Amino acid sequence: MGNTTYITTFFLTGFGEMGNERYFYFVCTFLGYLMILFSNLLLISVIVKEQRLHEPMYVFICNLACNGLYGTIAFFPKMMADFLYDVQTISRVGCLLQIYFFHTYGAFELTILAVMAYDRYASICNPLRYSSIMTQANICKLLALAWAYPIVIFTVHFCLTLRLPLCGSVIKKVYCDNWSVVQLSCTDITVNSIFGLFVTTAHVILPLFPIAFSYFKIWKVCIRASREARAKAIQTLVPHMVTLANYIITLLFEIFQHRFDMSKLPHIVRVLISVQFIIIPPLLNPLVYGLRIQGIKKKIAKVFQARIR
């Protein structure tokens, strides 16, 4: 065991040497955060305000937007502050909060997408029974499961991290993540590593099964349906598939940068790869649903028309 001290501050070295470029990065980050806040809050307010949008699909979209805000609130304010200082540090409490927010945010995204896929399956494959399947009580149960399942699993993983004595305080990223902190431990981390694989499986692999099952069943129905019915089904599925593909791609970026040596890439590229999963989904999801789903698109258009008048 190395020399153990109680670490109160971590140093984030992923920013590298920024120089005067920091102000450019600050402005870009600030504008990006404003776009995320505006688009997600607009989507949420339209769905909450309009009684006609209080259907299962829109309720789940609203939860997806809430999760986008939940994840970014732990990242953007701290990121913008770091651009204004020569040395980027974060307190132990702040680091642990970032870890909890980031990992649960990522898990929530997939569990909500799994619930949304099931909703589309019920709507397209069982249209006559849809209203009896997606009752208000069942919607509440599905949402409770989507939010509680990641919290329960990651909290156990998080507690295993909290028990570790640390011998280092340097995190080679622009934010705190669980594995980076675990690697600073002075003791054996085998238990954390093994349970980490279980958590990854539970958070990523397991939610993909109901998604894949739902899409497979929908695909079988679409093959036998008329051209008009097939087109209508595909139209409702496109936003969900775009959102899923968007999140999976950004998640793969995060996994690759942990597993492969990316030191040969330009520094700014490495930073962008490491933050894709927390920036792109919350930014694109409101645009995907706002532009592709007619019910939301029309209501948003009315909001802007009313303001112009």
Q: Is the dihedral of CA 277, 282, 287, 292 positive or negative?
A: positive
Looking up tokens 């949008």 gives: 53
Whether 64 has a pLDDT exceeding 80, the answer reads: yes
277-298 per-position pLDDT tens digit: 888 889 888 888 876 666 677 7
Whether 262 has a pLDDT exceeding 70, the answer reads: no
Quickly list H helices, 92-202: 92-125, 130-133, 136-162, 178-182, 190-200
Question: Whole-prediction pTM value?
Answer: 0.88
Report how far residue 261's alpha carbon sits from residue 44's, in angstroms, rounded to the nearest whole number.
40
Looking up tokens 């702040």 gives: 94
Whether 243 has a pLDDT exceeding 90, the answer reads: no
The domain segmentation of the chain, as residue ranges, is 20-308
How do strand 170-171 and strand 9-12 relate by DSSP bridges?
parallel
Report how far residue 279's alpha carbon sits from residue 275's, in angstroms, rounded to the nearest whole number.
6
Q: What is the mean pLDDT of the chain?
A: 85
In the beta sheet, which residues pair with residue 166?
Answer: 185
The class that CATH gives domain 20-308 is mainly alpha
What pLDDT sits at residue 130? 92
What pLDDT sits at residue 105? 94
What pLDDT sits at residue 5? 63
Tokens of 147: 């939010």
SS3 content of the chain, % helix, strand, coil (to 5): 75, 5, 20
Tokens of 103: 């990992």
129-155 per-position pLDDT tens digit: 999 999 999 999 999 999 999 999 999
78, 140 Cβ separation under 8 angstroms:
no
Whether 115 has a pLDDT exceeding 90, the answer reads: yes
172-195 per-position pLDDT tens digit: 888 998 988 999 998 889 999 899
Whether 302 has a pLDDT exceeding 80, the answer reads: no
Torsion of CA 82, 85, 88, 91, to 10 degrees: -80
3-class secondary structure, 10: strand
Report how far residue 128's alpha carbon sits from residue 105's, in angstroms, rounded to the nearest whole number.
34
